[in-house]
Every structure is written in C-alpha cells, then in structure tokens.
Amino acid sequence: MKSKLAVVKIGGNVIENKEELSGFLNLFAQMESPKILVHGGGKKATQILKKMGITPKMEGGRRITDAESLEVVTMVYGGLANKTIVAKLQAQACNAIGLSGADADAIRAHKRPVKEIDYGFAGDIDIVNTEAIANLLHSGFVPVFCALTHNGKGQLLNTNADTIASEIAIGMGHSYETTLYYCFEKRGVLSDMTDDNSVIETIDYKNYMELREKGIISQGMLPKLENCFHALQKNVHKVCIGAISMIDSEPGLYTTLTL
C-alpha cells in the first residue's frame, strides 16, 4: 500500500495577505508529512516590476516573461516569497527547504515554442526528478517549490505554479498516493462569482465541459482546472480546490474534482 503524499499549491492572493499566509502556514505545518508546498508570487512580481518602471505583459492570464521580467520573477519567486515562507514554516517546527526546479535538478523544462504568442522565458515542463524529491522527503524535509524551472543548460524559466504542482503530484504518484490541493482566495469553484457560498462541491469532466460552455468557468480558472483533470488522468488520487481551510483536519466547504 502506497504512503499518502499531499501536494499543496498557494497563489499570490494568499501570499500577499499576511494574515491569510500566516493562517495557511499554521495549517500546513500541522498537516501530516510527507507533504510538498508549491507557491506562486505573481502579484508581488507585478508590483515590483511597476515600481521599476517596467510594464508587466500578460496574455490569457499568463505572464509574458522577457529578460527584464525574468530577473524580477527570479528575485521574487526564488528569493523574497520562497525564503519568507520557509522561514515562517521553520518557526512552526516544520523543516522546510526552499527550492526552484534547478535545485537538485528537480524540474527540467523547455522554453515554450513561439506560436501565436511569444511568452518569452516561459517554461513547459519536461520531467520531474522524483528520485531527488523522494530523497528529500525520506530525509524529513518539506520541499517548498517556487515557480521557476530550468532547461539543464543554465537557463531559468518562469513556469506556471499550478502546472508545477500538478506535474509534481503526477510524478510522485508512482510511489505515493497523491492528493493535490489548490488553495486560493475563494471557497471553491463557484456557480455564481458574486456568491462565495455557491461552491460546486463535486465536478467531473463532463460537468466541467458544460460549465465551461455556459461561461460559469472561465478566464484564470480554465488553465487551473485543465491542470486538475490532467493530473487525475495521470493517476493522481484526488484533486481539491478551495480556501486555506480545506487543508484543516476538519475542513469546510470546497470543490473536489473527479473523472
């Protein structure tokens, strides 16, 4: 029987809210190990880019990462956001270790090919080094991954944190029973964006396509849910989306995705 592994992803809205982040990290520290945390930091990166006089470029909810932007996201994701989270987890007696995909050759990617849009130094994942990650888990560490990968040739790449979480859960699923949690500011996938209590508790792929056609699921939720269903199709045990309370021992309302 496989051991259970939780892969938890938090977004920029949680990271930017000190109270929310503190509450989340308290809950995460109490979760049973083994566990892995993946975080973004796009909001802070956008703020710093603007302070530097650099106009952030977005397309379809995804960042276009030119050379200047890559320097900033590296500083924010791999530095400020990652090390702040690690320090706060250490204060909770959670032996976290901060990582990018380049550390321990954990996640290799390639620069996204230019089709209709040139996303710059954006990375699409090729492989997750599950052996390296498993060694960290077996040694009692809690890996904390930021949204950076590398191409094995010295180039860092900005990579969607949802995708990183999904691919880690898929890769580790060969050795563990993995549950993937996407924590964000809403209680789950909502049927009415103006009503935070309109959580759709269970969504299968057929429901998803129907909700997408009706426009109930749109914009930034689309790539998130595509990652979710991709993970389920690749034998991730369970995928959940909701507020930080979702990872509590007595969770409230949230969305569970099934095939």
DSSP 15-44: HH-HHHHHHHHHHHHHSPSSEEEEE--HHH
- Do residues 58 and 117 touch, judged by C-beta distance below 8 A? no
Determine the length of the chain: 259
Contact between residue 211 and residue 203 where contact means Cβ atoms under 8 Å apart: yes
Residue 27 zone, left/alpha/beta (φ > 0; ψ -120 to 50; rest) = alpha
Per-position pLDDT tens, the chain of length 259: 789 999 999 988 888 889 989 999 999 999 999 999 999 988 888 888 899 888 888 776 678 899 999 999 999 999 999 999 999 999 999 999 999 999 999 999 999 999 888 999 999 999 999 999 999 999 999 999 999 999 999 999 999 999 999 999 999 999 999 999 999 888 899 988 889 889 999 999 999 999 999 988 887 788 888 889 999 999 899 999 999 999 987 777 899 998 8
Separation between Cα atoms, residue 258 and residue 196, nearest integer Å = 22
- Residue 60, C-beta contacts closer than 8 angstroms, at least 6 positions apart: 117
- Give residue limits of the domains in the chain: 3-257
Superfamily per CATH, domain 3-257: Acetylglutamate kinase-like (3.40.1160.10)
Q: How far apart are CA 19 and CA 38, in angstroms?
A: 19
